[in-house]
Amino acid sequence: MLNIGLILPDVLGTYGDDGNALVLRQRARMRGIDAEIHRFTLGEAIPENLDVYTLGGGEDTAQILAAEHLIADGGLTRAANAGRPIFAVCAGLQVLGSSFRAGGQTVAGVGLLDMETGTLGKRAIGEVVSEPQLDDVNEPLTGFENHMGATILGADAYPLGRLSKGVGNADRHASADLEDGEAQILAEGAVQGSIVATYMHGPALARNPQLADYLLARAMGVDLKQLQPLNIPAVAQLRRERLA
């Protein structure tokens, strides 16, 4: 049985990112693997022994509540320390960093990703495409970004993708004074340890099946190439349309 944790969908479920858990479950079941989604809402303890976890996006107030709960509960941190794969989107990405801006203040994050999030000069809205920086993932990543976060990666995190379209993590306003400013404005998302995070909505795993399978493989403790390929024409058509 593959156990998928959908974390705080009541406060981090604004943009349909709950769909990422559904994609993981469906792609597992299509391979004959039993899989179930377990929802954990605000105030509920998060177990540290699930196979994979997903977090979505949310607004400022919800984001602050999510960070406070995840820090106090500690279950997701223990899961990350144990190497359990975690997939976080947009506000979920920001919450897992060391700090983020919300409600006009700087808020402490969970500290699982070496990064800080400030504010972009202008809201990033639109299609985003990047070249993946993950081992064994070689298909372009595609999604829809809608955020004001300017996320600067530290030395222990690296980008999920190298940007070819869209804004991604940061703009020139946010990275102008950094030694690695050019690299920062080409970065989309963040990877550190077992955590994969992105600004891509879509849901991201519906639009990027290879990335979904990467997370499934990590959850199952196998190599990506060991997963049986799935031929889903509708997914292939969606990718052609979005990448065009």
Annotated binding-site ranges for substrate: 123
Q: Which residues of 164-202 are buried (b: 16+ CB within 10 A; e: fewer)?
A: eebbbbbbeebbeeeeeeeebbbbbbbbbebbbbbbbbb
Structure token digits, residue 220? 């199952």
Which among 38, 90, 147, 173 is annotated as catalytic?
Answer: 90
Structure token digits, residue 116? 């800080």
Q: Cite the annotated binding site by residue number.
A: 123
Q: How far is it between the farthest Cα atoms of the chain?
A: 51
Which among 38, 69, 173, 201 is annotated as catalytic?
Answer: 201
| Known catalytic residue at 90 | yes
3-state secondary structure 163-226: EEECCCCCCHHHHCCCCCHHHHHCEECEEECCEEEECCECCHHHHCHHHHHHHHHHHHCCCHHH
| Known catalytic residue at 201 | yes
| Spacing of C-alpha 116 from chain mean position | 15
| Residue numbers annotated as active site | 90, 201
